[in-house]
Amino acid sequence: MSGDDKKPSVDPPALTKSIGFFVETVTFLVQEELFKVPRLYFEKNSSIFNDIFQGPATKNREGSSDNLPIVLESIKKVDFERLLMAMFPEPSLSRYIPQPINMTVREWTSVLKLSTLWRFGELRHEAIEELTKLLVDSPAEQVALGREYRVEDWMRKGYTMLLQRESALTQKEREILGAPITVKVYEAREATFRTGNGAKKYGGFNGSRDLASVDNLVISGFGEELNDASYDGEAIEEDSKLALDAGRPKKKK
């Protein structure tokens, strides 16, 4: 057969991607370890990552392959793994029964840390709900974590518990709160004794404490930081301390 008799090449038919069952992935690099996960949750639930994924998909786009990962500088691998545990919980043996997520305070704190930093509102809310249950008997931790991650309700409840109870702060609680906050808590506690019937003093006259004044003492003594703790997505995005502690998603150069 001569060269002139060759059949013309035919382009293969164009293929379409399933809308519901074609999963786009994204690759991250965290502390020299690669992670490849579904991209949809990052794109739909975080304005930070949504901005990163804007624009046409190309083979040279960061996150598109193992050779072009999105580098998460200053992020600890353990924190990122815990975020993914909450984001993609292990499926149950039965697809009709959701698998519960059982994590510790430290693990949920990692989720809260990164969901706050990257503005995953749904995950942040879930982390706060779970930690609220785990920290119910830990007022000092409520205060400390509330201050760090701007959870006003934890701070208000934690301060109230510390001021109302009879027992003094333990050494561990003082370490968790730090010296400046510990001093403020002791000053507020002392005020409940001074205003009680008989002006009760430590080790002195056994008068009553004015626990009705605790709410006012919390507001007057800690009102400014309670206001600062009010969650605002834009404010947290620009929070330099969180950015320094946990890093920002950064594209690999």
- Confidence label for 206 from pLDDT (cuts 50, 70 and 90): very low
Helices marked H in the chain: 40-45, 47-52, 77-87, 105-117, 121-134, 139-149, 152-164, 171-177, 179-194, 214-229, 233-237, 240-246
For 60, other C-beta atoms within 10 Å of its C-beta total 8
- Confidence label for 241 from pLDDT (cuts 50, 70 and 90): very low
Q: What is the pLDDT of residue 94?
A: 54
Q: Which residues, at least 6 apart from 217, have a Cβ–Cβ distance to it below 8 Å? A: 163, 188, 191, 192
| DSSP category for residue 166 | S
Mean of pLDDT over the chain: 82
> Rounded to the nearest 5°, which phi and psi values hold at 32?
65, 20
Q: How far is CA 116 from CA 111, 112, 144, 178, in A?
A: 8, 6, 16, 23
Give DSSP secondary structure letters for 79-94.
Answer: HHHHHHHHHSPPPPSS
Measured CA to CA, the distance from residue 145 to residue 132 in angstroms comes to 11
- Confidence label for 61 from pLDDT (cuts 50, 70 and 90): confident
Asked if pLDDT for residue 242 goes beyond 70, the answer is no
pLDDT in tens, 150-184: 999 999 999 999 999 889 999 999 999 999 999 99
Query: Quick one: average pLDDT of 26-54?
Result: 91
Asked if pLDDT for residue 63 goes beyond 70, the answer is yes
Q: What is the pLDDT of residue 220?
A: 86
pLDDT in tens, 103-155: 999 999 999 999 999 999 889 999 999 999 999 999 999 999 999 999 999 99
Measured CA to CA, the distance from residue 210 to residue 198 in angstroms comes to 10
Q: pLDDT: is 136 or 15 the higher one? A: 136
